[in-house]
Each structure stands twice: as structure tokens, then as C-alpha cells.
């Protein structure tokens, strides 16, 4: 009884806290404090070349924060792969019928095409590097779930995934350093004079598509490493 | 449209409370993607397709996979 009341109280207090927080945010002074978001909305397409404003904030105005998020994922994947030094793989205690195996086989090409599309069109349509990377990471995860972890690691060895993740992490920083070479800030895109192209075309927006690709392969490989490390057992 | 939003919000509350107060962990694990799917529909209605995509892929897909694997690997300590 006391435990139930405790849980109920926790939920109610969280709800009250969120209500106060959101009502405060909602009642902020509207005219004076949101010049920054108005600048993003009105000038974002001209300054960055990306139609998708979320991507233009994530990979141009606030690209350094994206580097921080990617570093968090890299650290988690590295430490998990380091802490689980087990070579013997353990299957889940489940066997599937042939329907599951065949469906997985025919599903994987579609998942791959969807992931590549979401990554490549990150600056034109909803999506972007993180979502596309997670979609790409579902391929080795599906392989480990249905065919077993041995087959998955035979097809995509852990060393390959580690190398791909490092290529993504280092490539992001090198692309950021390109702007430094031209005499501008780290990860500058439009200000550094990279050709922005026509807004709305596939190859436009300067560095943003390449940053998307780097983040995509980094997130995909990192999540696959985390999943396989968690599945292994002694 | 307003009625649909209200209904979805009520379902969101119901699934959230169900996840917290259910006795068995398996029920909470399976209620989690339902919560995520309702949230995806709400995000699409409120015209935030990028967030909806991230929510659909990460919450309803990946996190549920992690939870199912963890649930499979661990034992309920109260039953022993």
C-alpha cells in the first residue's frame, strides 16, 4: 500500500513539475526573447542551404553539440565492447519457423535502402544521420536475433564495425577541421565559403550531407556493437 | 481533430500509468512500444515529422529490442 502510494506520489509530483515548467515556458515574454528562433526560421535556408530546418540547426548552427552527442555514443560503445570480453556467444532460447527466416531475408534489402535514403536526404526531408544510422543498425540486430549471433558476427565482424565507427568519428572531426583550414570557426559551413548550391537539390548545403553520412555510419556501427556486446554471455 | 487529439492523450495517460503500476515486467515491456506509437501519431498531428521519425525508430523499435533482450537475460528475483 505504502509502496503504491509512493509510486503514485512520484508520478504526480513529476506531472506537477512538468506542468509548472511548461506553463512557465509557455508564458515567457514573447516579443523580446525569441529573436534567435526567428532568425533561424527566416534566414536559415539562405545561410545553410538546407530546407530541413532541424538539420540546419543540428549540423550547422549547433554542430558542436552533435559532436558531443556522437562522442557520448562512441564512449558507450567502446566501454561496453571493452567490459564484455566474452568470446563465446549464447543463443536466446528460441527457435523460429521458416517463415521468420525467409521474411528476415527479404526484409533486409528494404531496410538498407530506407536507411541510406534517410541519411542521404537528411537535409531535404525529415530524418537525418541519427535516425538513418539507427535504421541501418537494425540490419545486424535482426541478423543476431533470427540467425544467431555467430552468423551475424561471421557476416559483419566486430573489427569491421569498430573500424567503421572510428571512420565516422574521425571523419566528422576532419570535416570540421576543413573549415579551420580556410580560416574560420570549427565546423563552419556557409561562412567558410563552401558552395551551398541550389536549395532543394540532393548535392547542396555545403558540408551538411557529408556530416550526415559520417554521423549515420557512426551511430549505426556503434549501436550494432552495443547490441551484440549486450547479447553475449559467459 | 480536437476529439482525436483528446482521445490519443487519454490513451497516452492510460498506457503510461499501466507501465508504471503493472505487476509483471513483461506487460510493461510490451506497453512501452504502444506508448511510443501513440506519441508518434501525436507528433505527426502536431507537424513535427522529424521528431516522429526518431521516436518511431528509437523508442518503438530499438529500445523495445533492448528491453526484450534484457528481460530475456534476467530472472525475476521475487519468484525464487
pLDDT above 90 for A210: no
* Beta-carbon separation of B65 and A128 below 8 A: no
Confidence (pLDDT) at A23: 86
Given pLDDT bands bounded at 50, 70 and 90, which one contains residue A89?
low
ipTM of the complex: 0.77
Backbone angles phi, psi at A103, to 5 degrees: -65, -40
Enter the C-alpha cell of residue A223: 549501436
Q: Which of A70-74, A93-97, B43-47, B52-56 has the lowest mean pLDDT?
A: A93-97
Average pLDDT value for residue range A115-123: 87
Burial class (CB within 10 angstroms; exposed 0-12, middle 13-18, buried 19+) of A41? exposed
* Better-predicted residue by pLDDT, A53 or A164: A164
Quick check: B26 contacting A, CB < 8 Å?
A: no
Confidence (pLDDT) at A110: 93
Dihedral sign for Cα atoms in the order A54, A57, A59, A65 = negative
**Interface test mutation site (partner B, options A93, A126, A146, A219, max chain B beta carbons within 10 A):** A126
Average pLDDT value for residue range B32-47: 90
Confidence (pLDDT) at A86: 62
Closest CA to B51 of A55, A68, A216, A44: A55
Whole-number Cα distances in Å, B60 to A6, A29, A218, B56: 28, 36, 21, 5
Asked if residue A114 lies in contact with residue B36, where contact means CB atoms within 8 angstroms, the answer is no
Q: Which residues of B touch A130 (CB under 8 A)?
A: 54
CA distance B39 to B33: 10
Q: Nearest C-alpha of chain A: how many angstroms from B57?
A: 7
CA distance A114 to A96: 26
Q: What is the pLDDT of residues B42-52, one digit of tens each?
A: 999 988 888 88
Highest mean pLDDT among A51-65, A115-129, B29-43: B29-43
Backbone angles phi, psi at A127, to 5 degrees: 130, -140
**Interface test mutation site (partner B, options A141, A144, A224, A226, max chain B beta carbons within 10 A):** A141
Cell 559483419 sits on residue: A156
Q: Nearest C-alpha of chain A: how many angstroms from B11?
A: 16
Sequence ranges of the domains in chain B? 2-74
Given pLDDT bands bounded at 50, 70 and 90, which one contains residue A90?
low
What are the residues whose beta carbons fall under 8 Å from the beta carbon of A167, sequence distance 6 or more? A214, A217
Average pLDDT value for residue range A18-31: 80
Average pLDDT of chain A to the nearest whole number: 81
Highest mean pLDDT among A20-24, A37-41, A109-113: A109-113
CA distance A211 to A218: 11
* Beta-carbon separation of A131 and B72 below 8 A: no
Q: Which residues of chain A are at the B interface, by a Cβ-Cβ cutoff of 8 Å? A: 4, 7, 11, 52, 54, 92-93, 118, 126-128, 130-131, 134-135, 137-138, 141, 145, 223, 227, 230-231, 233
pLDDT above 60 for A52: yes
Amino acid at each position: 500500500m505504502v509502496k503504491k502510494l509512493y509510486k503514485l506520489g512520484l508520478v504526480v509530483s513529476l506531472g506537477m513539475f512538468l506542468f509548472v515548467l511548461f506553463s512557465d515556458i509557455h508564458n515567457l515574454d514573447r516579443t523580446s526573447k525569441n529573436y534567435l528562433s526567428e532568425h533561424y526560421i527566416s534566414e536559415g535556408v539562405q545561410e545553410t542551404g538546407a530546407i530541413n530546418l532541424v538539420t540546419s540547426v543540428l549540423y550547422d548552427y549547433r554542430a558542436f553539440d552533435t559532436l558531443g552527442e556522437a562522442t557520448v555514443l562512441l564512449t558507450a560503445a567502446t566501454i561496453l565492447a571493452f567490459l564484455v570480453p566474452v568470446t563465446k556467444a549464447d543463443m536466446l532460447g528460441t527457435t523460429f519457423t521458416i517463415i521468420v527466416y525467409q521474411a528476415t531475408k527479404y526484409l533486409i534489402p528494404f531496410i538498407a535502402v530506407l536507411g541510406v535514403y534517410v541519411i542521404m536526404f537528411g537535409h531535404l526531408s525529415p530524418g537525418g544521420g541519427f535516425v538513418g544510422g539507427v535504421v541501418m543498425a537494425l540490419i545486424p540486430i535482426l541478423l543476431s536475433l533470427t540467425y544467431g549471433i555467430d552468423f551475424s558476427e561471421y557476416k559483419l565482424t566486430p573489427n569491421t564495425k569498430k573500424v567503421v565507427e572510428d571512420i565516422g568519428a574521425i571523419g566528422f572531426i576532419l570535416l570540421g577541421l576543413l573549415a579551420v583550414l580556410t580560416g574560420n570557426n570549427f565546423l563552419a559551413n556557409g561562412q567558410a565559403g563552401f558552395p551551398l548550391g541550389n536549395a532543394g537539390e540532393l548535392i547542396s548545403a555545403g558540408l551538411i550531407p557529408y556530416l550526415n553520412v559520417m554521423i549515420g555510419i557512426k551511430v549505426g556501427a556503434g549501436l550494432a556493437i552495443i547490441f551484440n556486446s549486450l547479447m553475449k554471455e559467459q | 481533430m480536437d476529439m482525436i487529439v483528446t482521445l490519443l492523450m487519454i490513451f497516452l495517460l492510460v498506457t503510461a500509468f499501466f507501465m508504471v503500476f503493472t505487476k509483471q515486467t513483461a506487460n510493461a515491456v510490451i506497453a512501452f512500444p504502444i506508448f511510443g506509437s501513440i506519441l508518434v501519431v501525436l507528433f505527426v498531428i502536431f507537424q513535427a515529422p522529424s521528431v516522429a521519425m526518431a521516436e518511431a525508430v528509437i523508442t518503438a523499435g530499438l529500445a523495445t529490442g533492448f528491453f526484450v533482450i534484457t528481460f530475456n537475460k534476467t530472472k525475476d528475483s521475487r519468484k525464487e
